[in-house]
Structure 1
Amino acid sequence: MTVVPDDHLMTLICDTCGDTIRGTACVLPDAEVVWTLVAEHGWSGSPFATGPHQCPHCSLLPTSGGGHASCADHGPGGILGIDHLDDVTVIAATGDIDLESGDTLRTALRHAADVGGNIVVDLARVHVIDSTGLGLLVRAHCDARDRGVTLCLAAPSRFIRTVLHTMRLDGAFLIFESRDEALTHFSRRGVSAATASTAETAGSSAR
């Protein structure tokens, strides 16, 4: 463990130099999730207490691979692409979905709503999400439901799954292991709907 919870305080320990900080930054009722403590103090590493974590100084030190000690999965949030496939719009997000990158995701979700149809938010390249990003997804999910379509999540990280579970939202979203699995689900549902429509038409003609 590199983060030690003690009552309502948490101690974050740098795995490189052993430097420590102590704080109460934890917005989730889950002692294992420490992303807010890490982010608010400029540290890098895992959003979980099991580490690794590096202080701001050690995050800039080069590693043997030529990179840096910071977590390679983190970075500015953004949208890799938006694909329109039949009646499904796929939004591929990347980086950290937070207050700074929220407008980018909001614009992409609004575009998908304007196009119409079901929405798949591909989170394969997203490592963490804060309350801003989560709020955007919840609102988009509700809007999609009101339009009679579905917004689902594909390939969420372990951290995102933990956040959804902690906030009791894992049952609100359809969640798939991959983008392809989500597209297969909508494809099958479309075939089933088309088959039912054909059968109904045939039945009407027979009468």
Structure 2
Amino acid sequence: MTVVPAGDGTAALICDTCGSDDSAIDTTRDGDLVWPVVIALGWTGSAFSTGPHRCPQCSRTSATPQQSAGESRPAHHSASYNIRTHDDVDVTAITPLADLDAALAERLRDDLMRAAARHRHVVVDLHAAHFIDSAALGLLVRARQEAKQHGATFDLVAPSRFVRTVLHTMRLDSVFRTFPDLRSAVNAMTPAARHR
């Protein structure tokens, strides 16, 4: 738990990297949802009161000095993603292999934007990503806009409950078409399915 309730409708947001805190969090509006306040204060991380959260200083640096000295980072930061193209229907499927945080979004950015500009259909398979932060969500929105500018589709596959909640909260659930699995998404792109 990285948001500690103060009992009067406020809470302290604690940085998971350096331990600094900000006690200006108003939790009365949306219960456990703290994303609007987190973003306004320059923090990154979870939309909910359960972490991870990073203060503005730690959000600007990708690694602490201890990590630079060779200490291991959390597993979700070292994970990557897969890209697979289904040439028969010109679908590119990008699968993040971990939670979509700012670090993974940064590594994914170029390939995702390139796919959105070059392929008729792009799907992001989120079955392994249970969490998404504001940086990653922003990347998905930009990639969808890029795809739309090129007359392409940009869909999501198997978003977790958390991701669906974030999409709903940010009023993006009607923007992204979602599919339960990759096969359903690819099948929906076939010429026969599109003409039904």
TM-score of the superposition, structure 1-length normalised?
0.61
CA distance in 1, matches of 2:128, 2:97: 5
**Does the 8 Å CA contact 2:123/2:154 hold for their aligned counterparts?**
yes
**Does the 8 Å CA contact 1:8/1:24 hold for their aligned counterparts?**
no
1:43-82 mapped onto 2 (5 Å cutoff): 75-76=76-77, 78-82=79-83
Q: 1:180 to 1:8 in 2, by over 3 A?
A: farther
CA distance in 2, matches of 1:121, 1:26: 34
**Does the 8 Å CA contact 2:47/2:166 hold for their aligned counterparts?**
no
Partner residue, 1:191:
192
Q: 2:183 aligns with which of 159, 165, 180?
A: 180
- Which gives a bigger RCO, structure 1 or 2 (Cα 8 Å, sep 6+)? 2
> Are residues 1:169 and 2:172 paired?
yes
CA distance in 2, matches of 1:77, 1:165: 28
**SS at the partner of 1:161?**
helix
Question: Could you list the runs of 5+ residues in structure 1 that have no partner in the other structure?
Answer: 13-20, 54-71, 197-207
CA distance in 2, matches of 1:100, 1:128: 13
Q: 1:77 to 1:168 in 2, by over 3 A?
A: farther
1:10-159 mapped onto 2 (5 Å cutoff): 10=11, 23-24=23-24, 30-33=30-33, 75-76=76-77, 78-85=79-86, 86=88, 87-159=90-162
Q: For 1:161-202, what per-residue CA distance to the aligned partner results, in whole angstroms no more than 9, with x for missing partners?
A: 111100001111111111122112112xx2256x79xxxxxx
Q: 1:90 to 1:106 in 2, by over 3 A?
A: same
CA distance in 2, matches of 1:166, 1:141: 18
Q: 1:192 to 1:157 in 2, by over 3 A?
A: closer
TM-score of the superposition, structure 2-length normalised?
0.64
CA distance in 1, matches of 2:115, 2:158: 19
CA distance in 2, matches of 1:47, 1:113: 26
Q: Who wins on radius of gyration, i.e. which is larger? A: 1
CA distance in 2, matches of 1:123, 1:4: 31
**Does the 8 Å CA contact 1:78/1:105 hold for their aligned counterparts?**
no
AA aligned opposite 1:79: S
What displacement does 1:136 show? Answer: 0.5
**SS at the partner of 1:84?**
strand
Q: 1:82 to 1:120 in 2, by over 3 A?
A: same
Question: Could you list the runs of 5+ residues in structure 2 that have no partner in the other structure?
Answer: 14-20, 53-73
**Does the 8 Å CA contact 1:117/1:149 hold for their aligned counterparts?**
yes
User: Over the residues paired in the alignment, what is the CA RMSD in angstroms?
Assistant: 3.8
In the comparison of the two structures, how many residue pairs are matched? 160
Matched-pair identity in %: 38
